[in-house]
Structure 1
Amino acid sequence: MFTAIGTYMTRMFDQIGGAAQMVRSSLFWLTHSRFEFRQAVDQSVTIGVESLGVTALTSLFTGMVLALQAGNTIGNIFGEPIFVGTIVTFSLIRELGPVLTSVVVSGRAGAAVTAQIGTMAVTEQIDALYTLGTNPIRYLVIPRMFGFMLTMPILTLFSNLFGVLGGYLVAVYALGIAGEVYITDITSFMGVRDFMHGFIKTFVFAFMVATVCCYKGISTRGGAEGVGKSTTGAVVTTIVLILVLDYFLTAILTAFGI
């Protein structure tokens, strides 16, 4: 048992150290070389634009089910559904919007990034980049990290919008709440501080997802089987870290009054 625990801990800290070295190298090349603008734009389209549909659909139905559950629960307690707009909006903008967007992007774009870089690693294309005098961190990692950092906050904005819209549709057409009341519940209690609480989280999640997925891809070994293991490991790791980081970020931001 102790051997297994020691082996697991050694492997975990080895991966953390490798990811930290990759981030350090990314910062170095970002300030000492030409930025791959075309690659960054292509990755932004792949990560952001192509993830918009599934993100919007997920958030729309999340807002709908939040409104339905809140309306029925509050209706059973107080006799009528009140503050449904407030509950839906606070839940989405402060927590569910950033978390669900990060999970969806991790499962869709993060897995694709890991599989793409991992395939290049096992087919020795990364070694070929070294031979050609091109650093893989500058050419592969930095554009993808830029794509995640740029697009995930924008996707979160759309996620919040569609979630609130879904809650509005259910509140008006299923619960019989006036649309003006739903909007008033939002504008009366929601402030800029609440919006920033969730928006700040998105940048941390984006950096974490980009780091884990790129490192898992670069460190892939073992052919096609290794690519599958790296992709699965990247998705599972990012989803777990999103939930773990969400708690600590919430505690820190709340302590600072955000």
Structure 2
Amino acid sequence: MFHSLGKYVLLLRLSFRRPEKFSVYWAEVMREMVATGIGSLGIISIISIFIGAATTIQVAFQLSSPLVPLSIAGKIARDSTILEFSPTISALVLAGRVGSSIASQIGTMRVTEQIDALEIMGVNAPGYLIAPKIIACITMVPMLVIISIALGMTGGWIACLFGGEVTPADYIMGLRDGFMPLTIRVALVKAFVFGFIIASICAYQGFYTSGGALEVGQSATRGVVYSCVMILFADLVVTRLML
């Protein structure tokens, strides 16, 4: 375990060494940001709308009492979406989509000896292959989480519009009631941490792949599983520290 941790830390140090040619690295960062952000926007949007709608319906069902104001459904749905659903579920989805892609891409380059060729040419392979992916993830995951929060609340409004449990006016009143900016900060910190976890763990699994196509698939699977576990652990730690 400690040996693997040492290799992980060493790989991160090598990844963020001074680049040989900044323009090449910058182009790679831009390409990874487009692949991570734009490529994941569709699945994140669909999931966020449906989760927001389902959360609002369930909260309204559980609080169906004449003693409880209907606007409380919007407030609970808002805080749940910002603090937990949007950051964590989005990160778990991205671990499956982006993380597996990172691990399989780097793992394939390892088993086909492309990484060895880069190192022979004097290129810092971890810096060229891993650093742009980490930068892209820690930049784009918070942006995707912000979009997810907005769409989640929109999904709750749509559920109120077509359902009879809570009126849209009461839902919007609940969204505005007692809003704390701290919740947004917590969500963004979680998104930043989750993005780093996804990119670094999956890149590590791919970089140290050995064997053939079967081992590449196993590395991708391990990267996704370990990322999901660490995302849930980091979610607990960040929540405990900031709240």
> 1:226 aligned to 2:193?
no
Letter in 2 for 1:49: I
> 1:166 aligned to 2:144?
no
> 1:195 aligned to 2:184?
yes
Which of 2, 7, 19 is matched with 2:8 structurally? 19
Instruction: State the percentage of identical aligned residues.
Output: 31
Note the C-alpha offset of 1:26. Answer: 2.2
> 1:108 aligned to 2:97?
yes
CA distance in 1, matches of 2:89, 2:118: 36
Note the C-alpha offset of 1:76. Answer: 5.2
CA RMSD in angstroms comes to: 1.7
Q: Give the secondary structure class of the aligned counterpart of 2:166.
A: coil
Letter in 2 for 1:112: S
Per the alignment, residue 34 of structure 1 pairs with 22
Note the C-alpha offset of 1:250. Answer: 0.5
> 1:72 aligned to 2:41?
no
CA distance in 2, matches of 1:51, 1:149: 14
Per the alignment, residue 117 of structure 1 pairs with 106
Q: Deviations over 1:110-153 (max 9, x none)?
A: 10011000000001000000111111112101111111011100
Per the alignment, residue 122 of structure 2 pairs with 133
> 1:153 aligned to 2:151?
no
Q: Give the secondary structure class of the aligned counterpart of 1:88.
A: helix
> 1:253 aligned to 2:242?
yes
Per the alignment, residue 201 of structure 2 pairs with 212
Once the two structures are superposed, the pairs formed by residues 21-100 of structure 1 within 5 Å of their partners are: 21-29=10-18, 34=22, 36-75=25-64, 78=67, 81-100=70-89
Higher mean displacement: 77-86 or 93-102: 77-86
TM-score by length of 1: 0.89
TM-score by length of 2: 0.94
Q: Deviations over 1:53-105 (max 9, x none)?
A: 00111111111110111011101584774411111110010111110111111
**Structure 2: where are the runs of 5+ without partners?**
none
Per the alignment, residue 7 of structure 1 pairs with none
CA distance in 1, matches of 2:129, 2:16: 13
CA distance in 2, matches of 1:57, 1:117: 29
Paired residues, what number? 242
Higher mean displacement: 178-187 or 45-54: 178-187
